[in-house]
A and B are shown apart, each in its own frame.
Chain A
């Protein structure tokens, strides 16, 4: 018999967005959080450089500038009303985090310290602006810890290490989820009035990625199976500074503090491509420039990587060249960037204080995801119809505030602002709604069947081999540079992998902590989302933000200034919806 629980509000995922939603929802309705990890293991904790808000603590700044930068950074695909909400509310959100106890770094007069970050500018001078509020280079860690601490203080109910396998969407409404308790293998049915999905990204479909092993897109795939669409899936950000071969992230904060890219000829090449912002150009642009250098034979020793150089004397030389009076020394960098300096030392054996660091672009962030309104309500289609009782926030959602390319620090802004809005809205809804009836045994049976199919599958294919092949394929054909022919090949190959996935075999047939089974199940989700990603990328015959088509190298506002929405009901289908534009007219993107 499945175990049965009833809550007014359910939050799936315990990263920044989920915890923020839970904090706000649990103030007025009976709330529970379900997470496949202990909350403090969530990937928000790995965010490094900062969270932007136009506090203006160190120099003039305005939320409208933040909004314009975000929209331009997103190559004009952002829904501008949503961006305005985010950048305006970012200020209160950061103050709220400070009041909760977040240990931000401080200015000499005791206010929250801010630093430069890619694409964030003074709109008048076009120069970088200090907008990113930070706690060394572990800002995400501090946000995650602080929000979890507040949840303990507020006595929020948690179901830790429970994997949600199905979302109970029926007749245009959501009534809860089905989950498996990892420790026992038992099935639990969670009946709710309102459910918010905040499970983060799905970067594990690529090989070189900054993403955690757990980021496998389980919930977006579950919604796809329930007949709901996903938005803008062709837009996935490749962060320019992953540790060579490993993909571990080295924060853009390094460049915020003055680090530069150096090619095999010893040249600071970004000055050639983006004369104003140089190394602080947005991530999509930097990643393409790196590959351009590599393609033209100017990688280090002609190989497939370049350097991120943050030796103090190099930083100071370029500060001087740029007319920036600031100077840094080793002690300052160790204070400001302790974690990433340690990553380079541990994983590469390279000391960034005395040596340049080998880097390459790394699959990092999903701009696309579950389509929502500005209050985190999940959209059922391109007309704005919502799924009653279903919400999504954070990286898993597509509001869309990031458009075709997210600016650094805006992921943290997104998750606190829309996590909060979602939590408040779901509680308002749950207070006046009643529980819709569900068939709990049928729900449990359907959820369990997904797992039993894998447990009992007696094929010959190893899931790990299929995953490895998928990741290599995605790096090769659905990466920074894409072509129509390459994407078609990728789709065929993914479908072949999906067919082979039907013939897998796992070693562990047990119930308690069966990670063999769960990894295999997660692979199924990655395969679904990989297909959708490649298919959406094939549909978009233009280049915009993080999506670059070599066969369509220009942005095409006439035909593609619109969001994609893709369904998989038997076969894939793409529809579109217009971009909401308020006051920032699309223009050519120059830095």
Chain B
């Protein structure tokens, strides 16, 4: 089938501001939006810049705004997103655009690093594995799925309004450790998230949950962190 891709373009070496370009490509309905973007890049205009790697929704490189919603281009099928044969593609919002669909991810990763995204356990390690019951393991399973693609954070109005807000992805990552029975730094992370740009900036809009390509219940995870802060109990 023929479709039209409307892509927001910006080349920092040429353009003063972004502009829209349209491309018509021949694709299969079951192709990915990433395939259509490659078709443009490989047969019509090689200057189109985007990040991508694994092309099946695991590496988290190709988050973009497709028809106004954050998705991974490699996980969005043409038949599911084309409206009257048209698909609009633009960079995710709230991070500085560097070129075309590529944004500066550093502010996003800085928030991630700020919440101590690593296991802290100061007891001497046992000779074998630390034991963890299947129930304790299940407690934080959902948030281990995060691939740091930024679909959630860059769909959040609170983050758009204030880039200093740590954002949903960083809270998801904090959740993954706060509720891990092996970890000992939960309270420290909760302190960080109780700061003015921490978890309370979340207004429970649910955009993050809708945007997550991994199906993580992001708003629920944020709610559990808020609950732990309110009650002072991690459970």
A residues touching B (Cβ–Cβ < 8 Å)?
37-38, 40-43, 45-46, 94-95, 98-101, 103-112, 135, 138, 141-142, 145-146, 149-150, 152-153, 183, 212-214, 246, 248, 339, 342-343, 346-347, 349, 462, 464, 506-508, 510-516
6 nearest A-B pairs in the assembled complex, by CB-CB distance: A101-B119, A464-B42, A507-B46, A110-B131, A516-B46, A149-B118
8 pairs, CB–CB < 8 Å, chain A vs chain B? A101-B118, A101-B119, A110-B133, A141-B145, A146-B119, A149-B118, A462-B42, A464-B42
CA distance A135 to B50 in the complex (A): 31
Q: Which residues of A contact B183 (CB under 8 A)?
A: 101
In the complex, what residue of chain B is closest to A339 when comparing beta carbons? B58
Q: A95: which of B47, B129, B144 is its contact (CB, 8 Å)?
A: B129
Name the B residues within 8 Å of A138 (CB-CB): 58, 145
With the chains together, A415 CA to B121 CA distance in Å? Answer: 25
CB pair A45–B59 under 8 Å, yes or no, is: yes
Q: Are B54 and A510 in contact (CB under 8 A)?
A: no
B180 near A347: Cβ-Cβ < 8 Å: no
User: Within 8 Å CB of B57, what residues of A?
Assistant: 343, 346
Known: A109-B131, A112-B129. A515 touches B50 (CB 8 A): yes
Check: B84 CB closer than 8 A to any chain A CB.
no
Given the interface pairs A101-B118, A109-B131, A462-B42, the reply to whether A508 lies near B182 with Cβ below 8 Å is no
Q: Are B46 and A111 in contact (CB under 8 A)?
A: no
B interface residues with partner A (beta carbon < 8 Å): 11-14, 30, 41-43, 45-47, 49-61, 75, 77, 98-100, 102, 105, 109, 113, 116-119, 121, 125, 127-134, 137, 140-141, 144-145, 147-148, 177, 180, 182-183, 215
Judging by beta carbons under 8 Å apart, are A45 and B46 in contact? Answer: no
Rounded to whole Å, the gap between the CB of B13 and the closest CB of chain A is 5
Whether A515 lies near B49 (C-beta < 8 A) is yes
Name the A residues within 8 Å of B51 (CB-CB): 41
- Which residues of the other chain, A, contact B102 by a CB distance below 8 angstroms? 513
**Residue contact A46 to B180, C-beta cutoff 8 Å:** no
A21 shortest CB reach to chain B, Å: 18
CB–CB A141/B58 < 8 A = yes
Residues of A contacting B99 in the complex (Cβ-Cβ under 8 angstroms) = 512-513
Given contacts A101-B183, A246-B56, A508-B47, 19 further A-B contacts (CB under 8 A): A41-B51, A41-B53, A46-B59, A94-B129, A95-B128, A98-B129, A101-B121, A105-B137, A110-B132, A135-B144, A142-B144, A146-B119, A149-B117, A213-B52, A346-B57, A464-B43, A507-B45, A511-B13, A515-B49
A247 to B: closest C-beta gap in Å: 9
Partner of A45 from B54, B117, B180 at Cβ < 8 Å: B54
Q: Which residue of B lies closest to A100 (CB)?
A: B119
Cβ A43 vs Cβ B46 within 8 A: no
CA distance A526 to B147 in the complex (A): 28
Please, which residue of chain A has its CB at the minimum distance from the CB of B215? A342
Report how far A437 CA is from B127 CA in the complex, Å.
45
Interchain CA distance A488-B81 in the complex, whole Å = 45
Shortest distance from the beta carbon of B91 to any chain A beta carbon, whole Å: 12
B36 to chain A, nearest CB (A): 14
- Tell whether A183 pairs with B133 under 8 Å between CB atoms, given A45-B58, A46-B56, A141-B147: no
Could you say which residues of chain A place their CB within 8 Å of the CB of B13? 510-512
**Chain B residues in 8 Å Cβ range of A110:** 131-134
Residues of A within 8 A of B118 (CB): 101, 149-150, 152-153
Nearest chain B CB to A204 CB, angstrom units: 11
Whether B46 contacts A508 by the Cβ 8 Å rule is: yes
Quick check: A346 and B144 within 8 Å, CB to CB? no
Considering the chains assembled together, what is the distance between the CA atoms of A343 and B72 in angstroms? 14
Query: Which single residue of chain B is at the shortest CB-CB distance from A111?
Result: B129
Contact B98 A512 (CB under 8 A): yes
**Taking the nearest CB of chain B, how far is it from the CB of A459, in angstroms?**
14
Q: How far is the CA of A54 from the CA of B55 in the complex (A)?
A: 33
Q: Write the nearest CB–CB distance from A344 to chain B, whole angstroms.
A: 11
Which residues of chain B are near A104, meaning CB under 8 Å? Answer: 129, 137
Please name all residues of chain B whose beta carbon is closer than 8 Å to the beta carbon of A135 when the two chains form the complex: 144
- Give the residues in chain B near A511, CB-CB below 8 Å: 13
User: Whole-angstrom distance from the CB of A448 to the nearest CB of chain B?
Assistant: 18
B59–A507 CB distance below 8 A = no
Q: Considering only CB atoms, which chain B residue lies closest to A135 in the complex?
A: B144
Q: How far is the CA of A94 from the CA of B128 in the complex (A)?
A: 9
Given contacts A510-B13, A515-B49, contact A46 B137 (CB under 8 A): no
CB distance from B179 to the nearest CB of A (A): 11
Q: Which chain A residues lie closer than 8 Å to B49 at the CB level?
A: 508, 513-515
Contact for A152 among B11, B30, B117, CB less than 8 A: B117
A45–B146 Cα distance when bound, in Å, is 11
Q: Which of B53, B141, B145, B183 has the most CB of A within 10 A?
A: B53
List B contacts of A146 (CB < 8 A).
119
Nearest chain A CB to B92 CB, angstrom units: 15
Query: Is A513's CB under 8 angstroms from B98's CB?
Result: yes
**Which residues of A have CB within 8 Å of B52?**
213
**A512: chain B residues within 8 A (beta carbon):** 11-13, 98-99
> Most chain-B CB neighbours within 10 Å: which of A94, A145, A153, A464?
A145
CB-based contact A103/B180 at 8 Å: yes
